[in-house]
Amino acid sequence: MDITRRRLLVLLPAAAVAWKYVLAGTPELSPNYKLTEHWWTMLIDIPKCIGCGSCVRACAEENDVPDGFYRTWIERYHVADWRLERPEVESPNGGKQGFPPNQDAGGKNFFVPKLCNHCADSPCTQVCPVGATFVTPDGVVLVDKNYCLGCRYCVQACPYGCRFINPRTKTAEKCSLCYHRINKGLTTACCEVCPTGARQLADLKNPKDPIHEFLRTHSVQVLKPHMATGAKVFYNGMDGSVR
């Protein structure tokens, strides 16, 4: 077969695509990482949170989160002395640039960092019609962005409002608990930069993890326990007004 200019023009891109595919291969988990030997969670110590927004900024930088969307965010609660049942909650820009001084400094004021609770019985994974979101054997709720249709069922199903549709990829997105970091032995980006240790990654299957001692000696709570989602982000020192 003669290679004419026309044939060459057809062949070259095809060869390029094929070569790219060969080079890319399929990614594999690091050999030392065993999925069944971990059960990841996070511990949030509310009395330590200073609302600096470092976690929100780090998360956006680590995971390329688009502006105006948050995989983690900080809420500031203001509970007036006379209206305990109606807390005022604000989260300007997700707390990314910190918080302006309170208008009404009275009452009870505190910060609550939020993120995906990586529920063991998560509603979001149960409603996915195609199996694009799932709980991994090591207890992290992930989204398979190559399989997601962008149907938004999971966004509605999450009782914690942790999911959004990424405007670039048009697929569901959420906190991955920095899955690409934790299986390399690193902590999550938010826990890495938290200056006060208010956020701590924990592995419940690791008997040496300090979380076990902490859980034994403190009264911890999860968000919306009545939803029975099996939420795994534990909050210490959480006020009853937190939603």
Partner 1 sequence: MFKDTEHLARLAVVIVIALFAFVILRAAVVPASFGQYGHYRGAAIAETAARPIAFAGHDACEACHTDVVEQKKQGRHVVIACEACHGPLAKHADDPSSVTPPKLDTAILCARCHEANSAKPKGFPQVVTADHSGGIACDTCHQPHRPKIQTSTNETKTETKAEVEKKTEGKK
Give first-to-last CA distance, the chain, whole Å: 71
Count of residues of this chain found to bind partner 1 when the rule CB under 8 A is applied: 56
Q: Which is nearer to partner 1, 4 or 219 (CB)?
A: 219
Q: Which of residues 60-89 bind partner 1 (CB under 8 A)?
A: 61-62, 76-78
Select from 10-18, 50-58, 161-169, 207-215 the region that touches partner 1 (CB under 8 A): 50-58
- CA atoms of 181 and 176, how far apart (whole Å): 10
Q: Which is nearer to partner 1, 111 or 164 (CB)?
A: 111
User: What is the contact mask toward partner 1 in residues 141 to 180, using x (rule: CB under 8 A)?
Assistant: -x-x-xx----------------------------x--xx
Give, in order, the Cα–Cα distances in Å from 8 to each of 12, 15, 52, 241.
6, 10, 58, 69
DSSP class of residue 102 equals: P
Cβ pair 99, 92 in contact under 8 A: yes
Report the run of H or E that residue 86 belongs to, with start and end. Answer: none
Strands in 108-115's sheet, in edge-to-edge order, are 88-90, 72-79, 108-115
Q: Rule CB under 8 A: is residue 197 a binding residue for partner 1?
A: yes
- Give the footprint of partner 1 on this chain (CB under 8 A): 26-30, 33, 35, 47-54, 58, 61-62, 76-78, 97-99, 101-102, 105, 109-111, 131-137, 142, 144, 146-147, 176, 179-181, 183-184, 186-187, 189, 192-197
